[in-house]
Structure 1
Amino acid sequence: MTPRSAGLSAHGRPLQGLCLRLVHALILFPFCAVAVAQSAGDDPLPSWNDGQARSAIIGFVQKVTNEESADYVSPAERIATFDNDGTLWAEQPLYFQAIYALDRVRDLAPEHPEWQDTEPFKSAIDGDVKGLMASGMEGVMKVLLAAHSDVTGEAFTESVAQWLATSKHPTKGTAYTDLIYQPMLELMDYLRANGFKTFIVSGGGIDFIRVFAEDVYGIPPEQVMGTTGDATFEMRDGIPTIIKTGDIVLVDDKAGKPVGIYRQIGRRPIMAVGNSDGDLEMLQYTTIPRSDTDTTPRMGVLLHHTDAEREWAYDRQSSIGKLDQALDEAPERGWVVIDMKQDWRRVFPE
């Protein structure tokens, strides 16, 4: 039995720095009991209720891995891509990376007295999310870039690790890494056990997600894609150093997701899993045949947030994780729609 049976990496690289060791300890320990529970039976998806979604997923995996089946897909082509926010962990009431950025800007405020009277930084420092959102996407991006640029790669990693180790969700009162979805951990583990390679394809920042993805999801950093900022190389005091800049190379959302997949993976996935209209193009790219001769089995999956009691219920009108066009397109494309309230026996790890 390995931690990976709970969605953790069995062969993760040693974490560097005190903050990363803290995150490793805090994240790993709570899932030991989950790993023991999962090893007790042969059910690959113990946190899923019997239903159409579960049956469709298991049926798909069985047919693409059966060498006697006409739908067999070689292991090299078994690529599965997962969105992160709202698909692998929660995203309400604000994307967790955005909350990190607000906290980071407040920490940096003493070094930037001009921010005290300048929007959108004044709202960010005051914790005024409505005021920040009133500045539009341009204002939000200024705050995000200020929190993610002009810093070494190592310092940024330490900052995120420290934040994850010490911060609590504003309404749930628990660590952000406690708000990952147990059923999705099981799904990724099930896919990997059947020869799939799992990738994260997120609108969130690639450097942010890479801090925790291997230990939390079992996905190594080279299999993480996200919105990417530029960086430069310098020798500082004789030490090779990467400096994060404020220039965006790729916005890995909506149409940017297929572009990121094309650039980094170089193979078209046969399964894509998302939860919002930001994932629409990724599911289209994955599932729509390129020609009449393209008969490779493919699956699109959408997580519909319908559980207001255990998590949140939202879709078409939500400003975070809006699910509208993709929900309408799902029946036409044959995409599996997971109803969180009905299909998941458990939402978060215990």
Structure 2
Amino acid sequence: MAVFDMDGTLTCETYYTYYDTMMFIEYCLRDHPEKTSDELKQVAASIEPGYKADEALARNFAKAYAGMTVQELYDYAVEFGKKYTSSFNNMRYIENTYLPMAELVEYLYDNEFTIYVISGTERTTTRAIVANSPIKDFVTPEHVIGTDFEVKQRGYENVSSNMDFKYENGDDLVFTGGFVQKDLNANKSIYVEREIGQRPILAFGNSSSDTSMMNYAIDDRNPYPAQAYMVVADDSEREWGTQKWDEKSAEYAAMGYTPISMKNDFGQIYPDGVTKGAVQYNKNDWVVDDAAIKQAA
């Protein structure tokens, strides 16, 4: 069994940030400002490079999608993926998969590995991304684990216990705006244990938020020999990578991980025709002043 982080490991996270964050910005400021509070519009407009993809931000994501059914959020994630990013030329957001990593997933699958994607992105959104990516035939929906927002049965959103009612034909499952858990750091190892029930023998990540999952795999108590790999974003020519190979490779090797260089180990990162854009980020891409935000509503 092999586990993969998604953002920055399987897919791009540098245009100028994660798929789910760009989706939140577009939802609040372009696609559905009429459904979005002024507070959430301000949050969306304030996101710039260097922001923290932390639990506080994820809680705002959950609020934005309150009232949507699970299927509606899935469908919106797919539709958003059809949009083009300005951080790269000729790239839709859904075309964000690192091709060498997709080849690796296929290779492992062909050699009878079960593949799991363990992501900090919300679970339904992660499933939509995976199902529309080059790895769709190798990772089934039940093998996608991500951050969880609260889901309730429509009409019972304010009932404290789900034991007090039953699902009937035609009922909808909706997001309440509540937040359950962010799938990063120690939660990654907890999710693996809770939902899979065994230690992986291969783990792939790209940042400190993945180390718990990596360490859980290579823990001495794993009954099988295990290995962990870290993708280093050191390619500044084809990608917006800023990491220094010498520094990160030494750091990861000291932690027991094998580093992977995007610059030197990836023959081709994205599909033919995709190139790095002239600029990574243009603040004018979104309305940012208070008057414009309120007018958009």
Tell me which interval the TM-score lies in, with the shorter structure as reference length: 0.7 to 0.9
User: SS of 1:150's equivalent?
Assistant: coil
Task: Report the alpha carbon displacement of residue 131 of structure 1 after superposing the two structures with TM.
Answer: 11
Candidates 66, 72, 78, aligned match of 1:161: 78
Candidates 158, 161, 174, aligned match of 1:243: 174
Q: TM-score, normalised by structure 1?
A: 0.66
Query: Which position in structure 2 is the counterpart of 1:43?
Result: none
Matched AA of 2:143: Q
Instruction: Give the number of equivalent residue pairs.
Output: 253
Task: Report the alpha carbon displacement of residue 144 of structure 1 after superposing the two structures with TM.
Answer: 1.2
Distance in 1, Cα, partners of 2:140 & 2:262: 27
1:59-93 deviation digits (Å, cap 9, x = unpaired): xxxxxxxxxxxxxxxxxxxx100000001111011
1:347 aligns with 2:269: yes
Q: TM-score, normalised by structure 2?
A: 0.77
Task: Report the alpha carbon displacement of residue 212 of structure 1 after superposing the two structures with TM.
Answer: 3.0
> Over aligned residue pairs, what C-alpha RMSD do you find?
2.7
1:230 aligns with 2:150: yes
Q: 1:212 to 1:313 in 2, by over 3 A?
A: closer
Candidates 333, 337, 345, aligned match of 2:259: 337
User: SS of 1:314's equivalent?
Assistant: coil
Task: Report the alpha carbon displacement of residue 260 of structure 1 after superposing the two structures with TM.
Answer: 0.7
Candidates 194, 199, 214, aligned match of 1:263: 194
Asked if the contact 2:201–2:226 (Cα under 8 Å) also holds between the matched residues in 1, the reply is yes
Query: Which position in structure 1 is the counterpart of 2:207?
Result: 276
Matched AA of 1:331: A
Distance in 1, Cα, partners of 2:50 & 2:201: 39
Asked if the contact 1:261–1:268 (Cα under 8 Å) also holds between the matched residues in 2, the reply is yes
Query: Which position in structure 2 is the counterpart of 1:172?
Result: 88
Task: Report the alpha carbon displacement of residue 153 of structure 1 after superposing the two structures with TM.
Answer: 1.1
Distance in 2, Cα, partners of 1:309 & 1:263: 40
More helix by share: 1
Candidates 314, 321, 326, aligned match of 2:242: 314
Asked if the contact 2:58–2:182 (Cα under 8 Å) also holds between the matched residues in 1, the reply is no
Query: Which position in structure 1 is the counterpart of 2:160?
Result: none
Task: Report the alpha carbon displacement of residue 123 of structure 1 after superposing the two structures with TM.
Answer: 5.1
Task: Report the alpha carbon displacement of residue 138 of structure 1 after superposing the two structures with TM.
Answer: 7.0
1:236-257 deviation digits (Å, cap 9, x = unpaired): 9961211112222221101110
Query: Which position in structure 2 is the counterpart of 1:214?
Result: 131
Query: Which position in structure 2 is the counterpart of 1:150?
Result: 67
Asked if the contact 1:258–1:282 (Cα under 8 Å) also holds between the matched residues in 2, the reply is yes
Unaligned runs of 5+ in 1: 1-78, 317-323
Mapping of residues 6-85 of structure 1, within 5 Å: 79-85=1-7
User: SS of 2:13's equivalent?
Assistant: coil
Candidates 102, 122, 129, aligned match of 1:205: 122
Candidates 98, 117, 135, aligned match of 1:181: 98
Unaligned runs of 5+ in 2: 156-166, 273-297
Mapping of residues 119-138 of structure 1, within 5 Å: 121-122=41-42, 124=44, 127-130=45-48, 133=51
| Sequence identity percentage | 26
1:302 aligns with 2:230: yes
Matched AA of 1:310: R
